[in-house]
Amino acid sequence: MAAKHSLAAAIRTVRKARGLSQEAFSDVSSRTYMSTLERDLKSPTLHKLTELCEVMEVHPLTLLTLAYTGDDLRQADQLLAQVRQQLETVTKKSDTL
């Protein structure tokens, strides 16, 4: 499943929804880095994404879900149900190994 929107757009959307400036991330990132992320010029590592999400007070999966579904909550529900099903399948297989 391809991302319907970009991670860059999701970061910008959540940051603005939380009323945060790019400077609000100064403990974990520079304003320049935030700008490059939001313009889709760079992609964060999983560790950096986690730090950014801590500042925005959202779970990283929230940000990724927004990147894949935009603001379509019905599509988000379908995606999260698919993820749950896949997690159940993977964890059942790992229990038998």
Range(s) of the domain holding residue 16: 7-71
pLDDT tens figures, 36-77 = 999 999 999 999 999 999 999 999 999 999 999 988 999 999
User: What is the per-residue pLDDT for 71?
Assistant: 86
User: What is the per-residue pLDDT for 96?
Assistant: 65
pLDDT tens figures, 13-40 = 999 999 999 999 999 999 999 999 999 9
Assigned domain for 29 exists:
yes
Assigned domain for 44 exists:
yes
User: What CA–CA distances, in Å, run from 61 to 23, 26, 28, 95, 96?
Assistant: 23, 22, 19, 24, 27
In this structure, are residues 37 and 10 in contact, taking their beta carbons and an 8 Å threshold?
no
CATH code at 42?
Answer: 1.10.260.40
Assigned domain for 2 exists:
no
Confidence check: pLDDT of 3 > 90: no
